[in-house]
């Protein structure tokens, strides 16, 4: 199954990510976000970051989850290569998400494709039809 | 959508439905074709529905679709009944432009042009994931967030008179470091003093044409061939994180029900959340001022080393393109304090405004409008008319018309470099892919943007400058 597809967008980066479950679609969305900045297929899972985010709805949960990829890159030079054990649970108000992000630290001189500034709500979609499709626009 | 022509290069979406005010678009028929192709007009209409908006939701000639507000959107809100919105400022808070003049002519630098650019490329960190040269502690960062370019000058980066020639004196007084999250700080620490990537650039330019000798003279521009340096960058990851943090905080505090677009989330300006965002935004603005101050200092250093002197390298001005500011404007014949959001727009204060430095008070403030990579940029002067037209605002650049994806499909970075070289423009970049994405063809015609700005009175044309050396992140 195709993990994600990068879509044309005038100013920034736009993609759809797919999954049989919402968890799989979210994990693929994280890889799609990474793919706008580096080749995640070449990243070795040497370091791991355990992350836990909460969202008042699934949209906010997705924006905050993908925001982790952006933050870890900017602040810790962390290149995501793999998403493990992603779980989403309903909470009293909204949802929580846990996952392990595996990858390595950016080496000096390593080539990157571009910088993602932020994950936006613009044209954000989470759709269920057989499986799940999420659509995201990021500011670049 | 109901769009009426109400004057030369002026269009209006009349007040309808939930709009509290009309929307006015400054555009030629040609630029309007691009503007109509995306969601710019719908976004301008959405802005017109926000609480406390005064007079009109404005759209500048270079507008294109943004997040929430259009890029090129200007809106002012009542301080008591109005709102503040991160979507009205943008993710790159105080993305802006600094222009330095020199006393060198094109001939003076001709033999050393390559070396100058190569040295600047070495000195100024740029590109994705490239950290700064300074290892910052958190307490120093806090100082920078409060003092902006003043911190930089006190620390030996640049000169005191640079501050006078920066909007806000290089320091927004309402900034507070306490409203900046740990995450924003962590993103900001490694990136201070870096150019970044995307559409950010540094150019060595020459004056090509002067349209208004008196204003040009007061800005320090004398004749065609004079060399200038332009720096275009912003608040880096720190500003992006501030926007992200407060979109979330506003969602949690006020909800998103009834919003036509979640990126339009806002808070009453005087609410605790609204004030926290305002203070954090001011801090991010200061970070960006300090950033450009450091980069300009390194550029002077390189000129001094390569050409023997950096004498005469005075700052012309430093302008914000993404900001919200409390300003006094004329509202129905009476002065009124308003929070003016300019997102992808330049302040264009005319002669006599007290915020404009004394040296420019007769001409109006310098308005710096960069073109796309390798094309012309323009220097304009703020006008008195812009007060009534657009809360003293004008365009900020060219504006994309082609996706990065499409640009990558059509252009090759190396070929662009060769084409520019044939036109006498040197190019250095950290990424050929980035160069292809920023191809001039992916942008609107900046000449047309400034023509509309001049003819409508938003900003008066002063000079046209063209690059001789381009450094891209």
**pLDDT value at position B412?**
94
Query: Does A86 score more than 70 pLDDT?
Result: yes
Domain that holds residue B395: 4-401+443-472
Among B65, B91, B431, the residue with its CB nearest the CB of A139 is: B91
Give the best residue of A55, A80, A117 to mutate against chain B (max B CB count within 10 A): A117
With CB atoms and an 8 Å threshold, state whether B403 touches A8.
yes
**pLDDT value at position B10?**
98
* Rounded mean pLDDT for each run of 10 residues along chain B, 473 residues in total: 94 97 97 93 98 98 95 98 98 97 96 95 87 85 98 97 98 98 96 90 97 97 98 96 98 93 97 98 98 98 97 97 98 95 98 96 97 92 98 92 85 93 92 89 92 98 97 89
Helix (H, G, I), strand (E, B) or coil at B456: helix
With CB atoms and an 8 Å threshold, state whether B183 touches A71.
yes
Which of the two residues, B81 and A9, has the higher pLDDT score? B81
> Is B73 contained in some domain?
yes
Nearest to B170 by CA among B98, B238, B221, B230: B98
The alpha carbon of residue B264 and the mean position of all alpha carbons in its chain are separated, in whole angstroms, by 20
By annotation, the residues of B acting in catalysis are 396
How far B189 CA lies from chain A's nearest CA (Å)? 8
Query: Does A11 score more than 70 pLDDT?
Result: no
Number of domains in chain B: 1
> Is B435 contained in some domain?
no
Give the start-to-end residue ranges of the domains of chain A.
Answer: 4-139
What CATH number should be reported for the domain holding residue B97? 3.90.1860.10
> Is B436 contained in some domain?
no
Quote ipTM for the complex: 0.95
Count of CB atoms situated within 10 Å of the CB of B376: 21
CATH architecture of residue range(s) A4-139: 3-Layer(bab) Sandwich (3.55)
Are B284 and B191 within 8 A, CB to CB? Answer: no
Count of CB atoms situated within 10 Å of the CB of B204: 25
Count of CB atoms situated within 10 Å of the CB of B332: 7
**pLDDT value at position B400?**
81
> Is B432 contained in some domain?
no
Query: Does A13 score more than 70 pLDDT?
Result: yes
How far A131 CA lies from chain B's nearest CA (Å)? 25
Percent of chain A with pLDDT over 70: 99
**pLDDT value at position B132?**
78
Residue B255, exposed/middle/buried by CB under 10 A (0-12, 13-18, 19+)? exposed
Query: Does A109 score more than 90 pLDDT?
Result: no
With CB atoms and an 8 Å threshold, state whether B403 touches A73.
no
**pLDDT value at position B444?**
85
Q: Which residues contact B216 (CB under 8 A, 6 or more apart)?
A: B210, B222, B379, B462, B463
CA B466 – CA B425 distance, rounded (Å): 9
> Is B396 contained in some domain?
yes
How far A56 CA lies from chain B's nearest CA (Å)? 7
pLDDT digits (tens, 9 = 90+) for A45-76: 999 999 999 999 999 999 999 999 999 999 99
């Amino acid at each position: 199954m195709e993990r994600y597809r990068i879509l044309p967008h005038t100013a920034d980066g736009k993609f759809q990510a797919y999954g049989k479950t919402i968890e799989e679609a979210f994990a693929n969305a994280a890889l799609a976000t990474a793919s706008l900045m580096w080749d995640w297929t070449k990243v070795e899972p040497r370091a791991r970051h355990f992350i836990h985010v909460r969202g008042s709805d699934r949209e906010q949960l997705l924006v905050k989850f993908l925001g982790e990829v952006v933050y870890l890159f900017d602040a810790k030079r962390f290149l995501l290569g793999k998403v493990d054990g992603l779980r989403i649970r309903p909470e009293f108000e909204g949802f929580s998400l846990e996952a392990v992000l595996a990858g390595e630290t950016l080496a000096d001189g390593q080539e990157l494709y571009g910088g993602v500034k932020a994950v936006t709500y613009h044209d954000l979609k989470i759709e269920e039809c057989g499986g799940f499709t999420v659509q995201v626009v990021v500011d670049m | 959508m109901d769009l009426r022509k109400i004057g030369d290069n002026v269009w209006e979406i009349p007040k309808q439905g939930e709009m509290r005010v009309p929307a006015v678009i400054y555009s030629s028929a040609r630029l309007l074709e691009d503007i109509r192709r995306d969601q710019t007009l719908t976004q301008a209409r959405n802005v017109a529905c926000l609480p406390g908006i005064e007079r009109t939701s404005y759209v500048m000639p270079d507008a294109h679709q943004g997040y929430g507000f259009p890029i090129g959107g200007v809106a002012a809100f009542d301080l008591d009944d109005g709102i503040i919105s991160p979507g009205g400022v943008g993710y790159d808070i105080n993305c802006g432009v600094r222009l330095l003049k020199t006393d060198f002519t094109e001939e003076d630098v001709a033999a050393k042009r390559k070396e100058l650019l190569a040295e600047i490329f070495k000195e100024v960190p740029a590109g994705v994931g490239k950290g700064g040269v300074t290892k910052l502690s958190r307490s120093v960062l806090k100082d920078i967030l409060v003092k902006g370019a003043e911190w930089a000058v006190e620390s030996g980066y640049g000169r005191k008179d640079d501050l006078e020639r920066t909007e806000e004196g290089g320091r927004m007084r309402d900034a507070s470091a306490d409203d900046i999250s740990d995450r924003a700080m962590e993103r900001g620490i490694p990136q201070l003093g870096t150019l970044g990537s995307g559409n950010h650039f540094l150019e060595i330019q020459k004056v090509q044409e002067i349209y208004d000798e008196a204003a040009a003279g007061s800005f320090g521009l004398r004749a065609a061939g004079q060399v200038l340096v332009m720096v275009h960058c912003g608040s880096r990851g720190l500003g992006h994180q501030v926007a992200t943090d407060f979109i979330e905080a506003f969602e949690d505090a006020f909800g998103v029900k009834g919003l036509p677009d979640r990126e339009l989330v806002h808070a009453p300006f005087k609410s605790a959340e609204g004030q926290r965002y305002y203070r954090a935004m001011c801090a991010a603005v200061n970070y960006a001022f300090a950033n450009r101050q450091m980069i300009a200092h390194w550029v002077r250093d390189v000129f001094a080393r390569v050409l023997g002197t950096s004498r005469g390298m005075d700052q012309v001005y430093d302008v914000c393109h993404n900001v919200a500011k409390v300003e006094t404007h004329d509202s129905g014949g009476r002065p009124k304090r308003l929070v003016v959001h300019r997102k992808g727009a330049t302040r264009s204060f005319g002669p006599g405004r007290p915020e404009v430095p004394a040296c420019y008070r007769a001409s109006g403030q310098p308005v710096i409008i960069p073109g796309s990579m390798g094309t012309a940029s323009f220097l304009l002067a703020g006008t008195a008319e812009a007060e009534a037209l657009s809360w003293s605002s004008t365009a900020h650049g060219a504006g994309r018309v082609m996706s990065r994806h499409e640009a990558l499909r059509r252009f090759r970075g190396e070929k662009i470099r060769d084409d520019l070289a044939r036109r006498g423009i040197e190019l250095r970049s950290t990424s050929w892919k980035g160069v292809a994405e920023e191809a001039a063809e992916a942008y609107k015609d900046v000449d047309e943007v400034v023509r509309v700005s001049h003819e409508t009175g938003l900003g008066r044309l002063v000079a046209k400058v063209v690059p001789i050396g381009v450094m891209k992140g």
